[in-house]
Structure 1
Amino acid sequence: MSACVEQQRVGCAIGGIYTALAIDRVMPILHSGPGCQDNAGRVVAGVNGGQSMGPISESIIPCTDFCEADVIFGGEGKLKKLIEKSIEYLDSDLFLVVDGCTAEIVGDDIEDVTRSFQGGSVPVIYSRLPGFKGNNLWGHSQVLQSIIEQYLTPSSKRTPRLVNVWGIVPYYDTMWAATLEKVAALLRELGLEPNIIYGQGSGVARLSRIPEAEFNLLLSPWVDLDVVQLLREKFGIPYFHYPVVPIGPTETTRFIRALADYAGLDKENAEAVIAREEERYYYYIQRHLRWLYACKALPKEFYINSSASAALALTRYLVNDLGLLPVKIYIVDNVPDQHQAQVREYFQDLELEIKDFEVVFTSDGGLMGAELKDKALVNPVSILGTAWDQLLATKRKITFVSVSAPYGDTLVGNKTYFGYDGAISLFADFYSDMVTKGTGSV
């Protein structure tokens, strides 16, 4: 064998349970092997900014611990008893039963088991998440589709200005919690009422409001596109697709104006928000210009090795606001074939005359490292990627910023690169590492 795939940047499909865990008072019940959750949770949470499901450990998630006896005799009886005891002892508003590879292979019917709990004191739904069908992003989609199909009901009203927000994947998108907080704050300033189902203050009550929204807002190149299309089909809710989580003044201003046009928002208020935030952004950037001018060799070119969503957002900021040049973009989150052409097209929407950089879709997270390990670098470059890439950057003294899963052991806290303020943080992280590595020392 001449080559192998290494440094995986996605988790198993059962990692989709972290989407459920991000919704307050929703509890997964696993019909899988005892190590499945722990394995899936490493890249999604544990080594992705030190995240966990809350003040308690994921080890309390109910699990049937599928074993050899269950392979032979089936585990449906054990699952039914586990659901009964979970309802009895765990204080939750919604239970989501998921299975793994082994239960799917032997044919255990979790749909039939959950059906026996219909009409009970607490809703119980199911989602099939065998790892042989997809990664954690596929699992994320399956969980949301299960909630839409099995839990949500049509609303008799449409609430003006209420907007559901999609496209940011909890836990997997490392800075998801703070990013959603900032998105919500911006939407409120623009005159909208955000309905965000993940993070602090979320919960089943917000799930129930999804069908009454005026529209859905999708912030990603491809993730959750199937979700907003399903919501349009099932509940008649239109969606506004902005393919990037905006970072920096150019993209955030563009986003605000596009959203204001789509939703019929107060243009005068939108422009006032833009003017105030742009002035603040440039104030903080200008405070560092003298320091930057004193640097010996600023990196002008960059490589990115991350998810499509992070790569697109970062590329637009680095090019449009910092004037840097992309060399090669490695997309490592297994973008489905039917979306790759469109994602590639999004990377052409840059304020750049010559767009001769490469965009590569690969499942091999180690491809960039293999190509750069011994490559002669004529000009100073930078890398934006994951904890895997930090080893290469340190060895070759390349400016590095971790931006995607697995983020590493550094605690993410409430960090976000979203919007105007987030871009200031990214600017500081980027150029601070440059000096730490000695690539642009003052």
Structure 2
Amino acid sequence: MISKHSPTDISRSEGCTLTGVLSVTGFLEDAVTVIHGPSGCAHHNASLLHASLAEIDAADLPVLISSSLSEEEVIFGGEGALAHALDIAASLDPDLICVISTCIADTIGDDCAALCRQKREMPVVYIPGAGFLGGGFSEGIRNALMSLLPLSSGADQTDDAGVMIVGEKNLEYEAEENFYEVIRLLSLLDLNPGIRFVRRMPASDCTYLGSAPVAILREPALHQVGSAIQDRFGTSIIQGFPIGPSESLDFIRSIGNLYGIDPVPAVREEEGVLDDLFASFCDLRGLTVRIEPAGANPASLEAAQAILQALGMKESASGMPLPLPFDPPVGTGGTKRMLHAWRRQISRA
């Protein structure tokens, strides 16, 4: 049979779908992840995960089990191997088992979802992880978050539901710094964060995903997940962490309006923080610089240009080249870190 997918459909500029799924399930506490595929696939992705965690000084590896498909199972079907792996996972008595399919499992047509529906003492969630026909790391993250949503009916509530944070980049170097920046902005409105879906989150908390009245997505690319949360639970959605100084103010206004809180005092307080921040970098005022747009995240570029304008810095092709962060600067805190990076670059010139 000739595939309808063209070669351009299978090219991708990011990592494997399976790795994206693991970057979510690996941060569920009291959970076990079963990778249904050859042992080499599990080993390769576990090695990638270990290296990425080491880069961010996180040494704890999640519990991973491979169904270790052999040539025989690839030919005759691997559902028996998956059932055996599920028995091993269940013997560890986790609160949740996540089953990730791989390219091989999807190619041979194993019905992973049917096996996951079989009754066990703990919930078993099937997450598509095959990316051989155009998937990628980001799709893996979306698949994982979407597959975990049905664990909550919306009927179970928690008394201390705060603002839910959705889809944090668990392998991002500044993940905690970005989270604390969001906490700081919420605190200006006397609000607290709630469930971090999913970052170092007890698997049992999946039951309470419908408790939060408001959820903040890590980035707009998760809009499908946000729509699903809104449709399922009636949750109000903020489409992304605030990028740069101006979005911090808009973020405060949006959150305040959703909660019926007057945002004006909080906005004025944050404006004062921004004024103090730019005053502390007055040595950069009037400098002629250059920002390379090639390959840059558009949000990073937009934030950088807003900061240049706020400081009265000038752009020129012959100016001092300034670095942009890999991920856009989150809020005022991210802006401060980027300005420090610029100052270091300029001082070395």
Q: State the TM-score bracket (shorter-chain normalisation).
A: 0.7 to 0.9
Query: Aligned equivalents of 1:174 and 1:304: distance in 2?
Result: 22
Q: For the structure 1 residues 188 and 159, does the alpha-carbon distance in structure 2 shift closer, same or farther, using more than 3 Å as the test?
A: farther
| Partner in structure 1 of residue 228 of structure 2 | 230
Superposed CA offset, 1:265-297 (max 9, x none): 2335413541452244234323xx1xx469xx7
- Does residue 1:14 correspond to 2:18, yes or no? yes
| Partner in structure 1 of residue 86 of structure 2 | 83
Give the secondary-structure state (helix, strand or coil) at the position aligned to 2:342. helix
Superposed CA offset, 1:403-424 (max 9, x none): 15xxxxxxxxxxx942222211
Between Structure 1 and Structure 2, which shows a larger proportion of helix residues? Answer: 2
Q: For the structure 1 residues 220 and 76, does the alpha-carbon distance in structure 2 shift closer, same or farther, using more than 3 Å as the test?
A: same
- For the 8 Å contact 1:300–1:379, the answer to whether it is kept is yes
Query: Aligned equivalents of 1:36 and 1:293: distance in 2?
Result: 52
TM-score w.r.t. structure 2 length?
A: 0.82
Query: Aligned equivalents of 1:313 and 1:216: distance in 2?
Result: 21
Task: State the shift of 1:78 in Å.
Answer: 1.5
In structure 2, stretches of 5+ residues that fail to align are 1-7, 311-315
| Partner in structure 1 of residue 246 of structure 2 | 250
Q: For the structure 1 residues 48 and 380, does the alpha-carbon distance in structure 2 shift closer, same or farther, using more than 3 Å as the test?
A: farther
Give the secondary-structure state (helix, strand or coil) at the position aligned to 1:265. coil
| Greater mean alpha carbon deviation, residues 181-190 or residues 9-18 | 181-190
AA aligned to 1:20 is T
Q: For the structure 1 residues 402 and 126, does the alpha-carbon distance in structure 2 shift closer, same or farther, using more than 3 Å as the test?
A: same
Superposed CA offset, 1:61-103 (max 9, x none): 11112231220122211211111112213x6321100110001
Query: Aligned equivalents of 2:266 and 2:224: distance in 1?
Result: 30
Q: For the structure 1 residues 21 and 100, does the alpha-carbon distance in structure 2 shift closer, same or farther, using more than 3 Å as the test?
A: same
Superposed CA offset, 1:11-59 (max 9, x none): 111012211112323331100222334545677773587147x43346x
| Partner in structure 2 of residue 208 of structure 1 | 207
- For the 8 Å contact 1:32–1:100, the answer to whether it is kept is yes
| Partner in structure 2 of residue 420 of structure 1 | 332
| Partner in structure 1 of residue 77 of structure 2 | 74
Query: Aligned equivalents of 2:121 and 2:114: distance in 1?
Result: 18
Q: How does 1:88-99 map to 2 (within 5 A)?
A: 88-89=91-92, 92-99=94-101
Give the secondary-structure state (helix, strand or coil) at the position aligned to 1:300. strand
Q: How does 1:121-132 map to 2 (within 5 A)?
A: 121-132=121-132
Query: In structure 2, which of residues 299, 302, 318 is the aligned counterpart of residue 379 of structure 1?
Result: 318
Query: Aligned equivalents of 1:236 and 1:249: distance in 2?
Result: 30
Number of matched pairs: 333
Q: How does 1:3-402 map to 2 (within 5 A)?
A: 9-15=13-19, 16-40=21-45, 46=51, 50-51=55-56, 54-57=58-61, 61-89=64-92, 92-116=94-118, 118=119, 120-133=120-133, 134-149=135-150, 151-155=151-155, 162-171=162-171, 173-195=172-194, 196-200=196-200, 202-221=201-220, 223-242=221-240, 245-286=241-282, 289=283, 292=284, 298-306=288-296, 311-323=297-309, 378-380=317-319, 382=321, 399-402=322-325
Q: For the structure 1 residues 49 and 433, does the alpha-carbon distance in structure 2 shift closer, same or farther, using more than 3 Å as the test?
A: farther
Give the secondary-structure state (helix, strand or coil) at the position aligned to 1:321. helix
TM-score w.r.t. structure 1 length?
A: 0.66
Give the secondary-structure state (helix, strand or coil) at the position aligned to 2:295. strand
Which gives a bigger RCO, structure 1 or 2 (Cα 8 Å, sep 6+)?
Answer: 1
Q: For the structure 1 residues 105 and 12, does the alpha-carbon distance in structure 2 shift closer, same or farther, using more than 3 Å as the test?
A: same
Task: State the shift of 1:215 in Å.
Answer: 2.3
After superposition, the CA RMSD in angstroms is 3.3
Query: Aligned equivalents of 1:312 and 1:259: distance in 2?
Result: 24
Give the secondary-structure state (helix, strand or coil) at the position aligned to 1:213. coil
Task: State the shift of 1:110 in Å.
Answer: 1.0
Percent of residue pairs identical: 19
In structure 1, stretches of 5+ residues that fail to align are 325-376, 383-398, 405-415
Q: For the structure 1 residues 246 and 169, does the alpha-carbon distance in structure 2 shift closer, same or farther, using more than 3 Å as the test?
A: same
